[in-house]
Structure 1
Amino acid sequence: MILAKNQAGLKNLYKLVSYSHLEYFYRRPRIPRKLLEEHREGLILGAACEQGEVYQACLNRDPRVREIASFYDYLEIQPLGNNEFLIGTSRVSNAEDLKNINRLICSLGKELEIPVVATCDVHFLRPEDAVYRTILLRGQGFEDAERQAPLYFRTTEEMLSEFDYLGEELAYEVVVTNSNLIAEQIEEIIPIPQGLHPPKIPNAEENLEKLCYETARQLYGDPLPQLVEQRLQKELKAIIGNGYAGLYWTARQLVQKSNSDGYMVGSRGSVGSSFAACMSGITEVNPLPPHYLCLDCHYHEFFTSGEVGAGIDLPRKNCPECGKPLHRDGFDIPFEVFLGFDGDKVPDIDLNFSGEYQATIQKYTEELFGEEYVFRAGTVGTLADKTAFGFVKNYLDETNQVKRKAEINRMVKKLVGVKRTTGQHPGGMIVVPKDMEIFDFTPIQYPANDPKSGVVTTHFEFSYIHDSLVKLDNLGHKGPTMMRMFEEFSGVKVTDIPMDDPDTMAIFRGLESLGVTEEQIGTPIGTLGVPEFGTGFTRQVLEDILPTTFADLVAIMGLTHGTDVWLNNAQNLIRDKVTDFKNVIACRDDIMVYLMHKGVSASDAFRIMEQVRKGRGLTDEDIKLMKQFDVPDWYIESCFKIKYMFPKAHAVAYAFTAYRAAYFKVHHPAAFYATFLSVEIDHVNADTIVQGEQYIRSEIAAIDGRGNDATAKDAEVATVLRTVLEAMARGIEFLPVDLYKSDATRVIPVDENKLLLPLVSLDGVGMNAAASIAEAREDGEFLSIEDLRQRAKVSRTVIDALTNHRCLEGMSETNQLSLFG
């Protein structure tokens, strides 16, 4: 047993936990004695339970028992029930033998002047909770799970009773006096340092402020419009004043690196609520109210009363001062959504990088801060409801017990949340300042204790250290990958496309722009393959709403990513004609903006928004306040139904990606379908596609026929097949896999009407095999199937897949030549 008695001891404890997981793990974490001695400062060492070496030495009459015991700061004895399982072994005949071992430990303590403490070895709180440990052990395959020692948390009276055979005076000493003696040695310890400890970036404050103002003045002119000046000043004061400038500057560096390497970056969460983030190049989402802006003479016109949902939707207009076409921007998103009302909330700057570029940006992060100061954010996998239910059901079945449903549910709830394994956040990277160590905050380990992962994570789940260390969310996402492929396949820059193209907007409510019919593709909406808008659920929402503006797309992203925001809420309000789509609550920010336009103070509007977005409803005082400002009853009722709300900034970022994809779908179909199928390549089967339209329809029908038994993968495959049907209906031809011409992993546009399927799209050809074939063919044609197998180092399964797809027609089996023709 290791106790930390002060902060130095806590740091040593974190080091020991780390080394035991990283360097000495074998089936379980282990700490060599030498390592323990090296890091003993600030620690109190207890002799532990019957598995400890002191108890074992007493049990086995080891003559070195005094030497062994002298290593510890206190010795332990435990209730007889804890070690009752030893009775009947060669050394323990009955309960009296167990008492004698405890008496011997007490004598050792007195002789060596080491306090002896009575401990419980607690594994559960109450005696009746033993069943849950039994269920957990059974679920993990332990055959002796039923042999449960009474390892519950005993009261002082119970402990005194357990050790009454020692006599009243000694029992009181080990149960009460010595327990307090140890406790009094322990100082007040803070497990995780309070306050944020960001990495120190030289001149970050000055650089950020300078860049933001330079960019703003280039766009809006000098002097800045009052609205722009006030917003930027307010944000920078909060960002710099609370020590977040380094985080902003780091995020900018990461985005700049990705952009310079040809990959766009999408923003997640609420970072797009920050005008400073927009001006520093972190996000393209402009949170100012919708406005016109002349990029030439800086004329500007803001719409601050909520009459316009998104600047992009403003009608085209020329500058009244210089005649140049006006730029249109702004989404009216409050900064408070990102950093809180007082600007002191620890910011989460979550960024979507291309999945194929994620490893590069993570490596760059390590280069920026130093590899020894960057760690992956750890996660803790816990027992989920479904697994817990299985554990309980199996236990009841195996023990022939019948329980009512309510009792079963109660037992399941007791097990849900128990730690099961560890892992890593998909993109979270923790940065430690250079004047501190990771051990000041948390131990570290391999995810799931797998050293082959090549990744070191925080031992604590990041949510526990969120307010103490900076986390950079460098997430991998399909969106930026698609944008790069669109440009590569079409030659058109994504940022150059018009954001008000009527034919593009039309596919969010119909099929006319695509030139296909519902009978051909099985849906009346044209968004198959469009990120975030291609699912059956979202297409149904599009049918209900029939959007006409970019602001509508933003709202739909909010409605479909929230919980109880659309279903049984906004959907009913629209269908029952209580209100129209433009007025329903879609994103969390809508609440604050709407209430402020109604006249509610910013602080009250923010507070109400925060309550509603977290599913906490409204107080009586909130309702009274809202009615005072003529907020309608349906709006108040809608607030009560909401469980979770999506941030508008994230919705805008998703809408940007979706609209751009839709543009390429309408105007550059070959580039679109090649891109979509490339990023969904795990669900693309070349053998199915080349068999033609009727076969594809039969495959879709088979998946649909499975109903609720269809898996998530089935749903993905069906979406891919429907998109392939749509491409065929638009005149796109799919060419079979070609051993020499096909790319390893990407669908390639051969011309405007033909797509060549990749090697990996063959069932049985994995990523590694496809890459190996592509590399081997660089050295010339394959002489035979034997030559292909040897040079590409592929299995017979791969050869069979290529053969079945007719990729090897005309190729001989071996390299041997016949002498007789």
Structure 2
Amino acid sequence: MHTVYSLLDGASRTQEVAQTAAQWDMPAVALTDHGSMFGAIEFYLACKEQGVKPIIGVESYMLAEGSRLERKRQSGRDGGKELCHFTLLAENETGYRNLLKLVSDSWLNGFYYKPRLDHELIEQHHDGLIAMSACLGGEIPQAIMNGQQEQARKTALYYRELFGANNFFLELMDHHTPEQQAVNLALVELSRETGIPLVATNDVHYVKDSDAEPQDLLLCIQTGCLHSDPNRMRMSSRELFMRNAEQMWELFGELPDALLRTREIADRCNLELKFGDFVLPEFPVPEGHTAGSYLRQVCNERVGRFYQPVTPEIRSRLDYELQVIEDKGYSAYFLIVWDLIDFAKNRGIRVGPGRGSAAGSMVAYVLGITELDPLEYALFFERFLNPERPSAPDIDIDFPPERRDEVVAYTIQKYGTSRTAKIITFGTMGAKAALKDVGRVLDMPIPQVNELTALVPDKPGTSLQQALGEVDELRRRYESDEQVHNLLEAALRLEGLTRHTSIHAAALVIARDDLTNYVPLCRVSGGEDNVTQFDMGAIDKIGLLKMDFLGLRTMTVIDEACVLVRKNHNLPEFDVHHIPLDDKKTYDLISRGEVVGVFQLESGGFQRVCRDLKPDRIEDIVALVALYRPGPMDYIPDYIDRKHGRKKVVYHHPLLEPILETTYGIIVYQEQVMQIGRDLAGFSLGEADAIRKAVGKKDAATMAKVREKFIAGCEQNGIQSKVAKQLMDDIEAFARYAFNKAHSACYAVVSYWTAYLKANYPHEFMAAQLTSVMDKRDKVISFIQDTRQMGIEVQPPCVNTGGRNFEVHEDHIVYGLGAINGIGLAVADAIVAEREHGAYADLYDLCLRVDPRQVPKAAVEKLIRAGACRAFGNRQQLLDGYEAVWEAAHRAQADAASGQGSLFGGLDDEAGADIIAPQLRSLPEFGTDELRAMDAELLGLVLFENPLGELQAQLADIELEFTATGELAELKPQTEVLLAGVLEECFAFTTRKGDDMLRARLNDGRGTASLVLFPKTYAQCASLAVQGEVVLVSGKTEAPDGRGNGLPSVIVERLYRPADWKKVKRPAGRNGVRRNGTPAPRTAFESSPLMTGAEPGPVNGNGHGAVNGNGHAPVEVADNPPVEIEPVAADYRLLEVKLQLGGELRERLRVLAETLRQHPGELPVILCLEEGPRRRRLELG
């Protein structure tokens, strides 16, 4: 049986295999994936669930001769196949353990294109295994097909001798191919001669016969071939489907012994895997100690650091936890985690305060594994480790992503490569991937496939079946277009199949001894890391210790921000661990909803909730983190109203008040459910955890038992039955959405830390945020916009003053050199390192001093275009002359390296002093449009000028009332609005009908909104819909845009220039003028603290006289009411025409040329051809 784990070859899903075997009353089914055991645990459990015996095996790749340790291709005997198939089945646990060893070694030592076994290895690990000669690709069938009958006989006898007379079988298969028929006859004869028994088997690659075509497509995907390619790889038969007993008797009725032998083998294979036991590694402890006694000693030594005084309550809690941990055998686990975190902290690696239920443990707190006092936050150890039921501790740890590998490396070094491995993950074929893969191998037009793919909703987890049910257009095309129907049918069968392997980014497994005693290992994508062949779920089931080293970008931000605060504010001891949790500035910032960049709180919805709630204590943030999820979000308005006294808090019983007081009578946390069970019904906390589990899983049967016990317990405590029932009703209603308070509290503290940094050290915090996302252009843009709105100037990069990262200089932030598109961190590091020897005097000095292997000429060009070399001249000058400067500097470096240097020898130490640096020509700076385009391409947005300053200037005399972007989220869809701001991130694209439309962002100085210009509007406004333009926007609100950025969205009806404000269509119900006749307020612009440019731009856009400030004649884009175009100023001497490259370009050029010929004039006409960053200018007359 080849399942989906025979990657892109097998198409049998394990659940389907098990269900089919059960339906056909098959007593057993064997797993024999190619060279691996990826799906062994999943297959084993699926079969057990269906009452079918699972047989674990593998169809291995066996070298016919030679050593697996040799990394070269060898020809087989007399031109036969070097690498042959060989089937192995685990008869018992010994065989299973040997199978683990064989498969692991084939990957770790024998891999060369395939994981290979050889005779030497199989001789070491053959006990407990049943071997079979395999399919036509087997060693014996290959010898037969090559006419080597004697070699086939020798090989068969060798394997019989090795495995034993009753443990090696000659396999017969019948998939109606001439080759198979001939081999079968030879195998029957070989069996008669040697006495080696025959067994009839079925080479299964898919469950149903109708799956032959989808499996063939899967093979095409794997090999990268078109389905129509006559020379592509194909399976030898289209009958590799699962057969029942009757079908097998039809094939092998003349050889009944061979058929019956399958049952004999199945009866002999009795592997019982154990699940639920935990195989924890040992921790090295001092002589005379056990893990339990040493853990107790360490905790007793440390408890005084965290609690003063150590009260009897604290001592009792600590002793209780230590006893439970020791009784369950987890002392070593806590010591292992403590050691890893201690290593990280000693190396200066920031560690998160905790996550998940581990923060409920006082032992974890005292060890420094978590940083929240469980007593202060009312957290329960039993939520983490229940003494009354089997449960394994699971402590996840947050590290900065860029330093996580240091902790992983330490763990591997400490416990050894034979006991540690990373964990595999399997990528499956999602709905869209299946469509694209199948469309590609069917050679369907890419645009057509992309159209269909675009119809599948982007919602994670959406299947093709769901999409067909929800999307009318997709269903219509499926039903009406035969090609589309066939594509979707094939994709439906392939969707969800395993497509590739990769390594889990955060997980590492640690074993007590050699890992291959428990799990098969492999390597992924040519890497050197040992990787388990079992995924996370299977690792948990077999009980191995899994460590999750999670990378959290916020840890990087906090770390970098603290470094900058220490440096810039002379606070050498500053760290977020020492800040107060009652800082007014922090809560004020959160209450204003200014939470962009604040951990967990930065979504648009969270911003509104923060403004409504106005949190003033850490408990409010803990509750918000718990409530802001689908389901419990419904309780947020109640929580807010109760906090602010608009609704009365009512408790059904006085004992509830101390439990629910902090959440205003609402059950928010699972820990509250447990506390109610303990304090009102007399449950132990272990018993009370059963309530939490029953409610959370919506287990009706268990819930009924818990309900009965709860009511009885309440009655014993003097609580009336009626009240007890009401309490249980409330628990069932509220607690199904209750969240883990320990996790909420940990993340709320991180939220507070980031808010504190933003409120008290905004420059350092935003610089750290920007540095953390340098490789994500959209994030850089978003954070720079937020930084500007905070009143903090972001200056362009500079090779003399900027660093690799974003840095704080006095009252502004300097753009990091490493964030420039196409530069990279290595180039930035090289420039900054050389600058330690002094600032660069000019462009020649820069080119002369840097190593051209580290900073190539292309990087210098990008630095110039990004404005990073502006200290040496304007961009047009530098781009005009940089190649000559580079060549001169390169010659000087070459001369210095060859010893030629200066004619004056040692009198002149400067390398290349005799080379005369080329002089830059005196040229004016590029026009505004060119500079904007360069900034947008290399920096993501315009930095050489501050558009918000221009915004205020242009709106100074406008008598209109505008809606601030921050108010849009509060408005209903289809509300008419009038906005004013600067266009950012303009993205034009073509619809399925071939029309151009645009998405853009509008920044009004206090926030941003998403704009949508449909084709008709875009056609009218295209000349104005340009990044960096100041515009007035008339449109209607819609729901937040679907790109996941949470911005309020506006459908644009018109764009206007500020100068044309009198022509603006005012929103319904507004006259746009204050009642006293003075202009309406423009608080969104006038109150913006940042209204000055970072670097003065050119006086006009293109070196010619400009009418409207950007170098172009004014363009009227508002067609209601119609107006005449304003006269061109007398000094205007240039007309620029911009055309977008596309299929109609030739026709457009023809029309343009004909128009110019018919209407000659004195003004020059320059044609600008643009395609992304590429531009050409043609003078036409």
Fold shared by both chains (TM-score > 0.5): yes
> Does the CA-based 8 Å contact 1:742-1:756 persist in structure 2?
yes
Q: Where is the helix percentage greater, Structure 1 or Structure 2? A: 1
Seen in structure 2, the aligned counterparts of structure 1 residues 218 and 742 have a Cα distance that, compared at 3 Å, is closer
Provide the residue aligned with 2:826 in structure 1. Answer: 768
1:172-216 alpha-carbon deviations (Å, 9 max, x no partner): 20011x223433443434387943232243243222212323444
Within a 5 Å distance, the mapping from 1:660-739 to structure 2 comes to 660-683=753-776, 714=778, 716-717=779-780, 719-727=782-790, 729=791, 732-739=792-799
Supply the AA of the counterpart residue of 2:521.
I
Match among 558, 569, 572 for residue 626 of structure 2: 558
Instruction: Report the Cα offset of residue 46 of structure 1.
Output: 1.0
Pairing 1:450–2:490 present: no
Instruction: Report the Cα offset of residue 138 of structure 1.
Output: 4.6
Seen in structure 2, the aligned counterparts of structure 1 residues 593 and 395 have a Cα distance that, compared at 3 Å, is farther
Provide the residue aligned with 2:862 in structure 1. Answer: 801
Provide the residue aligned with 1:299 in structure 2. Answer: none
Supply the distance in 2 between the matched residues of 1:646 and 1:340 (Cα, whole angstroms): 17
Seen in structure 2, the aligned counterparts of structure 1 residues 592 and 553 have a Cα distance that, compared at 3 Å, is same
Supply the AA of the counterpart residue of 1:16.
L
Instruction: Report the Cα offset of residue 162 of structure 1.
Output: 0.8
Within a 5 Å distance, the mapping from 1:291-302 to structure 2 comes to none
Provide the residue aligned with 1:496 in structure 2. Answer: 578
Match among 331, 342, 345 for residue 259 of structure 1: 345
Supply the distance in 2 between the matched residues of 1:421 and 1:770 (Cα, whole angstroms): 35
Provide the residue aligned with 1:190 in structure 2. Answer: 273
Instruction: Report the Cα offset of residue 802 of structure 1.
Output: 0.5
Seen in structure 2, the aligned counterparts of structure 1 residues 493 and 402 have a Cα distance that, compared at 3 Å, is closer
> Does the CA-based 8 Å contact 1:377-1:425 persist in structure 2?
yes
Provide the residue aligned with 1:546 in structure 2. Answer: 614
Gaps spanning 5+ residues in structure 1: where? Answer: 93-97, 289-329, 511-524, 685-713
Match among 399, 404, 413 for residue 353 of structure 1: 399
Work out the number of aligned pairs and report it: 702
Supply the distance in 2 between the matched residues of 1:629 and 1:215 (Cα, whole angstroms): 45
Pairing 1:505–2:505 present: no
1:364-412 alpha-carbon deviations (Å, 9 max, x no partner): 2223323432221222222334434556778999799956999999986
> Does the CA-based 8 Å contact 2:553-2:772 persist in structure 1?
yes
Within a 5 Å distance, the mapping from 1:327-338 to structure 2 comes to 330-338=376-384
> Does the CA-based 8 Å contact 1:507-1:527 persist in structure 2?
yes
Instruction: Report the Cα offset of residue 661 of structure 1.
Output: 1.8
Pairing 1:658–2:658 present: no
> Does the CA-based 8 Å contact 2:691-2:706 persist in structure 1?
yes
1:708-749 alpha-carbon deviations (Å, 9 max, x no partner): xxxxxx4x355323322233x2xx2323222133222x2222
Supply the AA of the counterpart residue of 1:269.
G
Provide the residue aligned with 1:649 in structure 2. Answer: 742
Within a 5 Å distance, the mapping from 1:502-541 to structure 2 comes to 502-510=584-592, 525-541=593-609
> Does the CA-based 8 Å contact 1:9-1:41 persist in structure 2?
yes
Supply the AA of the counterpart residue of 2:604.
G
Match among 356, 359, 365 for residue 411 of structure 2: 365
TM-score, L = length of structure 1: 0.77
Supply the distance in 2 between the matched residues of 1:541 and 1:185 (Cα, whole angstroms): 64
Seen in structure 2, the aligned counterparts of structure 1 residues 482 and 207 have a Cα distance that, compared at 3 Å, is farther
Match among 168, 177, 180 for residue 263 of structure 2: 180
> Does the CA-based 8 Å contact 1:130-1:148 persist in structure 2?
no
Provide the residue aligned with 2:895 in structure 1. Answer: none
Seen in structure 2, the aligned counterparts of structure 1 residues 123 and 590 have a Cα distance that, compared at 3 Å, is farther
Supply the distance in 1 between the matched residues of 2:440 and 2:303 (Cα, whole angstroms): 64
1:303-346 alpha-carbon deviations (Å, 9 max, x no partner): xxxxxxxxxxxxxxxxxxxxxxxxxxx11122122123526411
> Does the CA-based 8 Å contact 1:442-1:458 persist in structure 2?
yes
Supply the AA of the counterpart residue of 1:55.
P
Bigger shift: residues 767-776 or 100-109: 767-776
Within a 5 Å distance, the mapping from 1:38-117 to structure 2 comes to 38-63=124-149, 64-73=151-160, 74-80=168-174, 82-84=175-177, 87=178, 98-117=180-199
- 1:666 counterpart SS class: helix
Supply the AA of the counterpart residue of 1:565.
G
> Does the CA-based 8 Å contact 1:769-1:792 persist in structure 2?
no
Pairing 1:478–2:553 present: yes
Instruction: Report the Cα offset of residue 567 of structure 1.
Output: 4.3
Seen in structure 2, the aligned counterparts of structure 1 residues 483 and 99 have a Cα distance that, compared at 3 Å, is closer
Supply the distance in 2 between the matched residues of 1:819 and 1:720 (Cα, whole angstroms): 40
Supply the AA of the counterpart residue of 2:688.
A
Bigger shift: residues 70-79 or 49-58: 70-79
Pairing 1:464–2:538 present: yes
Seen in structure 2, the aligned counterparts of structure 1 residues 651 and 408 have a Cα distance that, compared at 3 Å, is farther
Supply the distance in 2 between the matched residues of 1:596 and 1:386 (Cα, whole angstroms): 50
1:681-723 alpha-carbon deviations (Å, 9 max, x no partner): 2236xxxxxxxxxxxxxxxxxxxxxxxxxxxxx4x35532332
Supply the distance in 1 between the matched residues of 2:809 and 2:819 (Cα, whole angstroms): 17
Supply the AA of the counterpart residue of 1:161.
E
Instruction: Report the Cα offset of residue 233 of structure 1.
Output: 2.6
Instruction: Report the Cα offset of residue 614 of structure 1.
Output: 4.7
Supply the AA of the counterpart residue of 1:764.
G
- 2:130 counterpart SS class: strand
Pairing 1:750–2:815 present: no
Supply the distance in 2 between the matched residues of 1:441 and 1:537 (Cα, whole angstroms): 47
TM-score, L = length of structure 2: 0.55
Supply the AA of the counterpart residue of 1:331.
Y
Supply the distance in 1 between the matched residues of 2:561 and 2:780 (Cα, whole angstroms): 22
Seen in structure 2, the aligned counterparts of structure 1 residues 148 and 787 have a Cα distance that, compared at 3 Å, is farther
Seen in structure 2, the aligned counterparts of structure 1 residues 548 and 152 have a Cα distance that, compared at 3 Å, is same
Seen in structure 2, the aligned counterparts of structure 1 residues 418 and 614 have a Cα distance that, compared at 3 Å, is farther
Structure with higher RCO (Cα < 8 A, 6+ apart): 1
Provide the residue aligned with 1:37 in structure 2. Answer: 123
Provide the residue aligned with 1:157 in structure 2. Answer: 246
Provide the residue aligned with 1:609 in structure 2. Answer: 692
Supply the AA of the counterpart residue of 2:625.
M
- 2:299 counterpart SS class: helix
User: RMSD between aligned alpha carbons?
Assistant: 3.6
Supply the distance in 2 between the matched residues of 1:590 and 1:139 (Cα, whole angstroms): 52
Supply the distance in 2 between the matched residues of 1:820 and 1:483 (Cα, whole angstroms): 46
Instruction: Report the Cα offset of residue 145 of structure 1.
Output: 6.4
Instruction: Report the Cα offset of residue 537 of structure 1.
Output: 3.6
Instruction: Report the Cα offset of residue 218 of structure 1.
Output: 5.8
Supply the AA of the counterpart residue of 1:501.
D
- 1:663 counterpart SS class: helix
Instruction: Report the Cα offset of residue 585 of structure 1.
Output: 4.5
Supply the distance in 1 between the matched residues of 2:132 and 2:647 (Cα, whole angstroms): 68
> Does the CA-based 8 Å contact 1:598-1:631 persist in structure 2?
no
Provide the residue aligned with 1:688 in structure 2. Answer: none
Supply the distance in 2 between the matched residues of 1:664 and 1:585 (Cα, whole angstroms): 31
Supply the AA of the counterpart residue of 1:631.
L
Supply the distance in 2 between the matched residues of 1:285 and 1:158 (Cα, whole angstroms): 65
> Does the CA-based 8 Å contact 1:529-1:719 persist in structure 2?
no
> Does the CA-based 8 Å contact 1:287-1:331 persist in structure 2?
yes
> Does the CA-based 8 Å contact 1:482-1:679 persist in structure 2?
yes
Bigger shift: residues 654-663 or 336-345: 336-345
> Does the CA-based 8 Å contact 1:623-1:636 persist in structure 2?
no
Supply the distance in 2 between the matched residues of 1:543 and 1:633 (Cα, whole angstroms): 32
Instruction: Report the Cα offset of residue 638 of structure 1.
Output: 4.3
1:66-97 alpha-carbon deviations (Å, 9 max, x no partner): 113223453444443x252xx4xxxx5xxxxx
Supply the distance in 2 between the matched residues of 1:235 and 1:412 (Cα, whole angstroms): 53
Seen in structure 2, the aligned counterparts of structure 1 residues 414 and 630 have a Cα distance that, compared at 3 Å, is farther
Provide the residue aligned with 1:377 in structure 2. Answer: 423
Provide the residue aligned with 1:323 in structure 2. Answer: none
Supply the AA of the counterpart residue of 2:520.
P
Provide the residue aligned with 1:24 in structure 2. Answer: 110
Supply the AA of the counterpart residue of 1:41.
D
Percent identity for Structure 1 against Structure 2: 25
Supply the distance in 1 between the matched residues of 2:433 and 2:195 (Cα, whole angstroms): 50
- 1:67 counterpart SS class: helix
Supply the distance in 1 between the matched residues of 2:357 and 2:485 (Cα, whole angstroms): 41
